[in-house]
Structure 1
Amino acid sequence: MSALTWTSAVPLASLAAWAWLLLGQGMFWRTDVRMPPAPGDGEPATWPSVAVVVPARDEAEVLPLTLPTLLSQDYPGHARILLVDDGSSDGTGALARELARRAPDGPPLTVLSPGDPEPGWTGKLWALRHGIAHARSGPQEPEFLLLTDADIAHEPDSLRRLVRGAVAQRLDLVSQMARLRVRTGWERLIVPAFVYFFAQLYPFRWVNNSGARTAAAAGGCALLRTEAAVRAGVPDSIRDAVIDDVTLGRAVKRSGGRIWLGLAERVSSVRPYVGLGPLWRMVSRSAYAQLLNNPLLLMGTVVGLVLVYVVPPVRACAGSPVGGAAWLVMTLSYVPMLRYYRQPLWLAPLLPVTAVLYLAMTVDSAVQHYRGRGAAWKGRTYS
């Protein structure tokens, strides 16, 4: 193949890839998948009981911003909060008790300490196991379990809306992709793209289609029917999962459960990512696990990212109209996510820069894996 033919074929391949992504990948770029509507007034005749399970490891910095939002939930049914202090060294458990003392009218709070995880368990899932077991051991087993991270803040009607949607649509798992914090320059460049790429891998419409194989969930806010958790063997069946939210969605869907995933309107993360370093670690700790720790999948991902995200702007700057068309399609596909995050639209043409950063993070994730430091999080490393 001559150099001229090669330089013409590559931009065409990029444009074809974008045409397929835009039309054939579950409309991943749209941001209108929100809480499932409830018919009529949507109010259940009897509100089911809920146990809120919050795994927390060294979360004293964010807990004053998040736990009070759970303690002030406007939920008509019976609810209680189980905060699982996963070996914290910063007083997370004591702080949680103090925050609960200041909110005497909120749901009752219990702080649990499960000890170090047993071999074969990740820390978060070990904490969830302990919390779920405690919730089910009471005189009345809760009908639903709300699994929510310690950095997640909820609007007062968040739990009510989650339960209403699950009951009305007869869903076994309702999860929302919490709106992440976007304030600094690095957060603006990386965070909206994180959700954009996630939706590209797991199109929400495919996840929510009971006839499709695609399954995923958002671990920061997941309302799980207790019966479905028992049927799927959760969390024991996913105990070693580094990407626990996606694995949770798969387990529930494969066991016959109906799942729903969408973007959040009333749920947000308050965790700050100051500088590139924390954001880099957030992505790289699980990126290679996403590729099943497979070097062939890594090579394919590198080639694919270069073809889809790097070739169009490079060829456009070299004067290729086909490359320019591919870059334009890419830019337009990113606009809805920037609008969702209320960010300036001039960031859209910079998506190739962000993609290169994600590519570097993924390669670094593989390097750390082979150095024995993969999936490191708060002092723990998982093979």
Structure 2
Amino acid sequence: MGQTAPVSAIAWTAAVSLAAWLWLLFCQGFFWRTDVRLPPHRDPRDWPDVCVVVPARDEAGVLPASLPSLLAQDYPGRAEVFLVDDGSSDGTGGLARELGESARRAGGLPLTVASPGEPPPGWTGKLWAVRHGIGLARTREPEYLLLTDADIAHAPDSLRLLVAAARTGGYDMVSQMARLRVASGWERLVVPAFVYFFAQLYPFRRIGRPGSRTAAAAGGCVLLRTDAAVRARIPDAIRHAVIDDVALARAVKGGGGRIWLGLAERVDSVRPYPRLGDLWRMVSRSAYAQLRHSPLLLAGTVAGLALVYLVPPVALVAGVVTGSSAAAVPGGLAWAVMTGTYVPMVRHYRQPLWLAPLLPFTALLYLLMTADSAVQHRRGRGAAWKGRTYARPDTVADEG
């Protein structure tokens, strides 16, 4: 009797986990599909002016692989690049000027390098840099702004395709989730799951659907109509946001703008995360902010991750060991559904399929990263990035 009760509890928990996976499979916007790419588009009759804004802080290590790709864009209209050096200590600004001069001699896009100084209270450094860049760009009166990170490399036709998609679909914002680097063993294990979890939270199909409240963007590549940015008060309205891409999308959509988000094929991140510690810091710096610094949401998230991702393999193993098919069958089925939904993302990243069944282990890592994020925030070290630590939004005085 003493052993039957725990096995029965595991069986019931496994059944709930299986029900959760069936709901995710069919009712969560088909988040697991990876065929949401740039919508159908055609070249416009006239190509609008575009200004590219690149915030950069201590990015000398990645600029040679990213900035030249922007300056070499094959764009039929007028385009210009503004790189905003956010107080770098590694010579980012000087290197950017050198790369810009080389591109100019080769006929590339013009580059302006500027620095706004330290951000005032209530602003993250990145958004303060974006504000400065948008201010410079608006003197050129562009129809579109391309907001892209300093570690993002673009194929030569990237800007052309983004503008054509925005014009054809009538979108105020078109964003692409850059393909992140997967070279080291830890990157292969963690990175595809990062995008998978993001899509599970913000199903791409729902984001572009008229009337849907789901809003998100990928901050590495956002084409934004200038008048939509003005209408949504970007970036002032989101000046303290740590997860600025989601806040940006919500502001634009809340202002009546049409937005779209999908996976990129010709936009890549060149930033390396070779060690687990690098990936850990990348996730933990913003995980608790994603939960709005709420202990209740944290507890719910930990419980949800355990139920959905950890229970299936535990139930399968426990059922096999104890001979309980009531635990093993739903546990095995839930693990199979989980693995099947992860396979498309593993394929998108061109990784071996044997990584798909390891998703429970990766989810455990994310659970620990999320818990660590909360601990770091409690210690006053939350949202730390490149020498800066940002306060919770409710501790920042409103500047009006």
Q: Structure 2 length normalisation: TM-score?
A: 0.94
| Superimposed CA distance per residue, residues 304-333 of structure 1 (whole angstroms, 9 cap, x where no aligned partner) | 000000000011112211100000000010
Within-5 A mapping of 1:200-219: 200-219=200-219
Match for residue 142 of structure 1? 142
Match for residue 178 of structure 1? 178
Secondary structure of the residue that 2:385 maps to in structure 1?
A: coil
Match for residue 199 of structure 1? 199
Match for residue 169 of structure 2? 169
Within-5 A mapping of 1:12-161: 12-38=15-41, 42-104=42-104, 105-136=107-138, 138=139, 140-161=140-161
Give 1:107 shift: 1.0
| Superimposed CA distance per residue, residues 66-115 of structure 1 (whole angstroms, 9 cap, x where no aligned partner) | 01101110000000000000000111111011011111211110001000
> Are residues 1:322 and 2:325 paired?
no
| Superimposed CA distance per residue, residues 32-65 of structure 1 (whole angstroms, 9 cap, x where no aligned partner) | 0000111xxx111110000000000000000000
Identity of aligned residues (%): 71
| Superimposed CA distance per residue, residues 210-244 of structure 1 (whole angstroms, 9 cap, x where no aligned partner) | 21111000000000000000000000000000000
Contact 1:81/1:107 (8 A) holds in 2: yes
> Are residues 1:339 and 2:341 paired?
no
Q: Distance in 1 between matches of 2:242 and 2:332?
A: 38
Match for residue 246 of structure 1? 246
Q: Distance in 2 between matches of 1:355 and 1:367?
A: 18
Q: Distance in 1 between matches of 2:288 and 2:78?
A: 41
Contact 2:207/2:259 (8 A) holds in 1: yes
Q: Distance in 2 between matches of 1:215 and 1:73?
A: 28
Please report the RMSD computed on the Cα atoms of aligned residues, expressed in angstroms. 0.9
Secondary structure of the residue that 1:142 maps to in structure 2?
A: coil
Secondary structure of the residue that 1:302 maps to in structure 2?
A: helix
Q: Distance in 1 between matches of 2:202 and 2:210?
A: 14
Q: Distance in 2 between matches of 1:210 and 1:368?
A: 39
Secondary structure of the residue that 1:22 maps to in structure 2?
A: helix
Contact 1:162/1:174 (8 A) holds in 2: yes
Given residue 351 of structure 1, which amino acid in structure 2 is its aligned partner? L
Contact 1:207/1:216 (8 A) holds in 2: yes
Contact 1:67/1:150 (8 A) holds in 2: yes
Q: Distance in 2 between matches of 1:68 and 1:200?
A: 34
Q: Distance in 1 between matches of 2:59 and 2:240?
A: 22
Give 1:265 shift: 0.6
Q: Distance in 1 between matches of 2:275 and 2:58?
A: 20
Secondary structure of the residue that 1:76 maps to in structure 2?
A: coil
Q: Is the deviation greater in 312-321 or in 368-377?
A: 312-321
Secondary structure of the residue that 1:264 maps to in structure 2?
A: strand
Given residue 376 of structure 2, which amino acid in structure 1 is its aligned partner? Q
Stretches of 4+ aligned residues off by more than 6 angstroms: none
Match for residue 366 of structure 2? 358
Given residue 302 of structure 1, which amino acid in structure 2 is its aligned partner? V
Contact 1:210/1:259 (8 A) holds in 2: no
Give 1:4 shift: 4.7
Match for residue 6 of structure 1? 9
- Structure 2 spans left out of the alignment, 5+ residues: 321-327, 392-400
Q: Distance in 2 between matches of 1:125 and 1:225?
A: 17
Give 1:155 shift: 0.2
Given residue 98 of structure 1, which amino acid in structure 2 is its aligned partner? E
Q: Distance in 1 between matches of 2:30 and 2:7?
A: 34
Secondary structure of the residue that 1:102 maps to in structure 2?
A: helix
Within-5 A mapping of 1:275-294: 275-294=275-294
Number of residue pairs aligned between Structure 1 and Structure 2: 378
Give 1:297 shift: 0.3
Classify 1:4/1:95 alpha carbon distance in 2 versus 1 (closer, same or farther; 3 Å): closer
Secondary structure of the residue that 1:145 maps to in structure 2?
A: strand
Give 1:156 shift: 0.2
Secondary structure of the residue that 1:103 maps to in structure 2?
A: helix
> Are residues 1:305 and 2:305 paired?
yes
Given residue 203 of structure 1, which amino acid in structure 2 is its aligned partner? P
Q: Is the deviation greater in 298-307 or in 314-323?
A: 314-323
- Structure 1 spans left out of the alignment, 5+ residues: none
Q: Distance in 2 between matches of 1:238 and 1:229?
A: 11
Q: Distance in 2 between matches of 1:102 and 1:322?
A: 61
Q: Distance in 1 between matches of 2:302 and 2:293?
A: 14
| Superimposed CA distance per residue, residues 124-150 of structure 1 (whole angstroms, 9 cap, x where no aligned partner) | 0000000001111x2x40000000000
Q: Distance in 1 between matches of 2:6 and 2:150?
A: 55
Secondary structure of the residue that 1:83 maps to in structure 2?
A: strand
